[in-house]
Amino acid sequence: MLITFEGIDGCGKTTQIELLAVYLIELGKDVLTLREPGGTEFSEKIRDLLLHSKDVLTYQSELFLFEAARVDLVAKVIKPALTEGKTVILDRFYDSTTAYQGFGRGIDLSIVKRMNELAVEGLKPNITFFLDIPLDVSYQRSNHRQPDKIERAGDEFFKRVIEGYRKIANDEPERIVSIDGSLEKQKINEKIKEIIKKSPGKF
Ligand code: TYD
């Protein structure tokens, strides 16, 4: 079982992932929580390059690096864990690349799609929770910390990312559940649990 969380910075993914993990563990699931980019030694190094290095990257390099980090995590950790019957909760997956590098940076969406396919080799989340927040909520929630390199891209970029996510969610309603991320965190957790309870086939 693969569950992914998506949304712009400050949408509350981290909190919701923690709450969901506790709930699934209570249900007796063997839960593994991971984040992208990251989750392997190699992918964490790429994460550092992408988010904190002083090098100026082209958008194409950025795309390749996100995908390289993904290949490593999928092949070495996610696929083996799923084979062992674990429930994997993933903080960001290929929808992030479609939203940020495709819609945000403006790289041709068909190329991003092919790159995503190459990286995951057929792996698809059973369910994806998209926590939808407007830009001002993102800024309010993030003002206490230093933005990473991607987060410094500016308002117009983030507006395209938000619209991109909404379009991705619209295109795949059977997989992606959109939730208003400005709601109170317990309320969001209740909604997520309800959806999970209602999908016995999947869980
Ligand atoms: P994240 O770990 O969510 O950062 P934070 O905890 O600071 O919110 O994601 C790291 C950044 O990488 C985030 O700004 C989104 C970006 N990103 C992409 O641009 N493309 C991708 O494919 C992924 C996975 C992340």
Atom of ligand 1 nearest to the CA of 35: 2
What would the two tokens of residue 18 be?
């923690």
Among 5, 92, 97, 144, say which to mutate for ligand 1: greatest number of ligand atoms within 8 Å of CB: 92
The reply to whether 140 falls in a domain is yes
Q: Distance from the CA of 194 to the center of ligand 1, in angstroms? A: 27
pLDDT in tens, 93-115: 999 999 999 999 999 999 999 99
Among 150, 157, 158, 162, say which to mutate for ligand 1: greatest number of ligand atoms within 8 Å of CB: 150
Domain count, the chain: 1
**Domain enclosing residue 156, as ranges:** 2-197
Q: Strands 2-6 and 127-132, how do they pair? A: parallel
Q: Distance from the CA of 201 to the center of ligand 1, in angstroms? A: 31
The reply to whether 137 falls in a domain is yes
Confidence at 201, pLDDT banded by 50, 70, 90: low
Q: What is the CATH number of the domain that holds 158?
A: 3.40.50.300
State yes or no: pLDDT of 149 exceeds 90: no
Residue 190's H or E segment, with its range, is helix 185-198
pLDDT in tens, 1-59: 999 999 999 999 999 999 999 999 999 999 999 999 999 999 999 999 999 999 999 99
Gap between the Cα atoms of 198 and 67, Å rounded: 33
Q: Which of 89-93, 158-162, 196-200 has the lowest mean pLDDT?
A: 196-200
